[in-house]
């Protein structure tokens, strides 16, 4: 049985003058411990899917199940990491990452030990008593990742968490995140515009179309690339043919979006 499953999921945004179909009949499943990416043109509903899974929005139609149970309300089983780190500048790094357990009133000696272990995992033990303003963008995102992991979610949702970083920092963080997710056996859905990033980190990639948003094609990453660290995937001989295939499909999807937009404008 699939760990996470979206079945015939649609979402409509309503306005006083009508409604917009953001998603229509989205169907996909994710296995426990799997890392999948969702790519597609801007406005195709990638982030809307994450908001539905996180229960920030409720789907108009269809069902979402986690471990066989309907996902109907916000739960600590789902962790959500955004492009911005949203660290509190007046709190130390350690107090920032303990925020979740503190809200849940679960601060124990074991919680503190785990917080320090995770900080060490992302090579930031030395920042425990620092404040966010003293850290670089990449370091802050690593702290945000630790904060997300502190509630021990079953599934993590990443909404373009590396897009605001410089290229070198982005590559370094890809390696850190990929290693941590495999070490702690987390299930991950990454939304990204970066095809190279999706190939480097994923087990599978879902390509979305738009008007309205739906899954158009699924790409399975070859085992040889999945066993390779993200930093080195881009150098592998199997990388370029896969990139070109996905790019071709992406371009066709983008062209269809433009065509649909032009038709709508004519109307």
Residues 105 and 64 both lie in one domain: no
Residues 158 and 148 both lie in one domain: no
Answer with the one of 97, 132, 152 that is the final residue of a domain: 152
Residues 9 and 140 both lie in one domain: no
How confident is the model over 58-78, as pLDDT tens digits?
A: 999 999 999 888 988 777 789
Residues 68 and 179 both lie in one domain: yes
User: Could you give the CA distance from residue 88 to residue 93 in angstroms, rounded to a whole number?
Assistant: 9
Contact 176, 208 (CB under 8 A): no
Q: Alpha helix (H) ranges present in 184-238?
A: 195-201, 223-226, 230-233
b/e 154-184 (16+ beta carbons within 10 angstroms → b): bbbbbbbbbeebeeebbbbbbebbbebbeee
Residues 211 and 92 both lie in one domain: no
Indicate whether 261 belongs to any domain.
no
Count the Cβ atoms, other than its own, within 10 Å of residue 49. 29
Say what the pLDDT of residue 265 is: 45
Residues in the chain: 267
Say what the pLDDT of residue 74 is: 75
Helix then strand then coil, in percent of the chain rounded to 5, is 40, 25, 35
How confident is the model over 6-41, as pLDDT tens digits?
A: 999 999 988 777 788 899 999 999 999 999 999 999
**Overall domain count for the chain:** 2
Give the tokens for residue 267.
């109307």
Residues 69 and 175 both lie in one domain: yes
Indicate whether 139 belongs to any domain.
yes
pLDDT along the chain (267 residues), means of 10: 92 83 94 95 92 93 92 83 90 94 88 93 93 93 92 92 87 90 93 95 95 93 94 94 95 65 45
Report residue 5: phi and psi, to 5°: -140, 130
Say what the pLDDT of residue 259 is: 52
Indicate whether 47 belongs to any domain.
yes
Say what the pLDDT of residue 89 is: 95
Give the tokens for residue 37.
């990416």
CATH of the domain at 163: 3.40.50.300
Indicate whether 208 belongs to any domain.
yes
Give the tokens for residue 171.
């590559």
Indicate whether 18 belongs to any domain.
yes
Q: Which domain holds residue 164?
A: 4-77+154-237
Indicate whether 185 belongs to any domain.
yes
Residues 159 and 231 both lie in one domain: yes
Indicate whether 10 belongs to any domain.
yes
Residues 212 and 110 both lie in one domain: no
Answer with the one of 103, 126, 152 that is the final residue of a domain: 152
Residues 108 and 119 both lie in one domain: yes
**DSSP characters over 61-87:** EEEEEETTEE--S--TTEEEE-SS---
Indicate whether 113 belongs to any domain.
yes
Say what the pLDDT of residue 264 is: 43
Residues 57 and 174 both lie in one domain: yes
Residues 73 and 167 both lie in one domain: yes
Say what the pLDDT of residue 208 is: 95
Write down the pTM of the prediction: 0.90
SS3 220: strand
Residues 216 and 171 both lie in one domain: yes
SS3 24: strand
């Amino acid at each position: 049985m699939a760990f996470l499953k979206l079945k015939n999921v649609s979402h409509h945004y309503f306005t006083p003058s009508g409604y917009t179909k953001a998603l229509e009949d989205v169907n996909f499943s994710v296995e426990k411990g799997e890392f999948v990416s969702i790519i597609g043109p801007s406005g195709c509903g990638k982030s809307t899917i994450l908001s539905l899974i996180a229960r920030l929005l409720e789907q108009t139609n269809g069902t979402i199940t986690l471990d066989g149970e309907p996902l109907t309300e916000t739960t600590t089983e789902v962790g959500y990491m955004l492009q911005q780190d949203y660290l509190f500048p007046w709190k130390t790094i350690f107090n920032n990452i303990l925020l979740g357990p503190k809200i849940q009133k679960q601060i124990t000696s074991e919680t503190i030990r785990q917080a320090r272990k995770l900080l060490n995992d992302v090579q930031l033990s030395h920042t425990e008593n620092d404040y966010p303003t003293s850290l670089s963008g990449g370091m802050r995102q690593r702290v945000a990742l630790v904060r997300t992991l502190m509630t021990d979610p079953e599934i993590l949702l990443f909404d373009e968490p590396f897009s605001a970083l410089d290229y070198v920092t982005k590559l370094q963080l890809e390696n850190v995140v990929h290693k941590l997710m495999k070490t702690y056996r987390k299930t991950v859905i990454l939304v990204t515009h970066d095809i190279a990033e999706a190939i480097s980190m994923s087990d599978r990639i879902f390509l979305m179309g738009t008007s309205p948003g739906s899954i158009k094609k699924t790409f399975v990453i070859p085992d040889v690339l999945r066993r390779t660290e993200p930093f080195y995937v881009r150098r592998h001989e199997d990388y370029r043919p896969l990139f070109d295939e996905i790019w071709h499909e992406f371009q066709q999807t983008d062209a269809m979006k433009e065509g649909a937009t032009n038709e709508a404008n004519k109307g």
